[in-house]
A = this chain, B = another copy of it.
Amino acid sequence: MSNQPEHPALLIPGPIEFDDAVLQSMSHFSQSHVGAPFVETFGETLSMLRELFQTTDSSSQPFVISGSGTLGWDLVAANLAEPGDEVLVLHTGYFADSFTDCFETYGVKATQLKAPIGSRPQLPEIEKALKEKKYKLLTVTHVDTSTGVLSELKALSELVRRVSPETLLIVDGVCSVGCEDIEFDKWQLDGVITASQKAIGCPAGLSISMYSSRAIETFKNRKTPPGSYFASFKNWLPIMQNYEAKKPSYFATPSPQLVHALHTSLTKILSKPLSERFAAHRAASQKIKKAVADLGLKQLALDPADQANGMTAIYLPEGVTVPGLLPNLMKKGVVFAGGLHKEIAPKYIRIGHMGVSVTDPKRTDIDRAIEALGVGLSEAGYKKP
């Protein structure tokens, strides 16, 4: 089934299991970062990202930079906001706190709109907040990896456009790009940041993002220089534009191997309609969520409309612990993640169901995950009600 050595299926909310061909591309022989063959590969990769984000607006701008998903926050905070600017951070878990820290590092004033754990800020509250103060940016975690809560982008965008049209809508899509529908142009998004190792299906090491022409204009109209050097649009914008135009240029050395792997992964993803990909993720997610309910377990995200399609966060039943359950499941061949939300971390686990584990019909990861979860809980003494 796979050329990879036998190993437990990695079913955490990223990194995920990778396709053989993607891993093979990781060991590509060495190429010059400014030579024609690699420039061609990088340029094609950037163009394919436009398709993944469903943008045909030629003034949208993709970025691929060596780094982790976290670097995306610096890209936003250091380029699209200026010291003293106000931003509204919709809070659904761990990552809104970190994004807030990042804004504050660059002197940007972040106001959090918090929701109870497992929920998300509601449109009327957001409307009220947007009317009370003028925000340069509004940020939303599309799928909060710490809680499995999915936010609704389309209605949020309509609200922002109606109530505060100058506010840029920034999406943390680290755990959503590639498994959740994102229509960058149609939903008038201004920035979506993500990383390679989740539903995009390429090993970790790349910060990937897309910005609207409005966002790029906002950057160009800054009164102060960007607050970061490595994460500066000033340094990267010409580089990304040159690579996509198949012209060599240099600011910092990209990783040819990671870019080859991303190229391979995007080629596979785009070989089928995106709608099929999202439907496959929804179907696998429903299968897991039904199994969780059948076991009598509760998800963190209560409302089905708020439940992510690429991951599931599940409260452990009384008496079952993370360190008791997960190592036993690993012996059964599946790796799940523990909790991450600091208030309740020891009380829940997280299952990732993204990429080839979901889309490759030859893989049995999802069925094995469901089977292992049931047996593992039973062995931990849990009896379903």
Contact = CB atoms under 8 A, between A and B. Distances in A.
A77 B33 contact: no
A26 B68 contact: no
Interface string A327-356: 000000001010010000000000000000
B254 A204 contact: yes
Contact of A32 (B10, B33, B66, B251): B10
A321 to B, nearest CB: 16
A31 B10 contact: yes
Interface residues of A, number: 60
A16 B4 contact: no
By Cβ-Cβ distance, the 7 closest A-B pairs, closest first, are A205-B255, A70-B252, A68-B252, A23-B27, A102-B229, A26-B26, A204-B255
Interface stretch (A150-158, A220-228, A284-292): A220-228
Interface in A249-306: 250-258
A310 interface: no
Given A4-B29, A255-B204, A227 B230 contact: no
A66 B204 contact: yes
20 contacts: A14-B253, A15-B30, A23-B29, A32-B337, A33-B204, A68-B252, A68-B254, A70-B251, A71-B230, A73-B229, A105-B225, A105-B229, A105-B232, A197-B255, A203-B256, A203-B258, A205-B258, A228-B228, A230-B231, A250-B340
B32 A15 contact: yes
Contacts of A26: 26-27, 257
A385 B66 CA distance: 46
B16 A30 contact: yes
A253 B105 contact: no
B32 A229 contact: no
A69 interface: yes
B29 A12 contact: no
Given A66-B68, A70-B251, A226-B105, A256 B35 contact: no
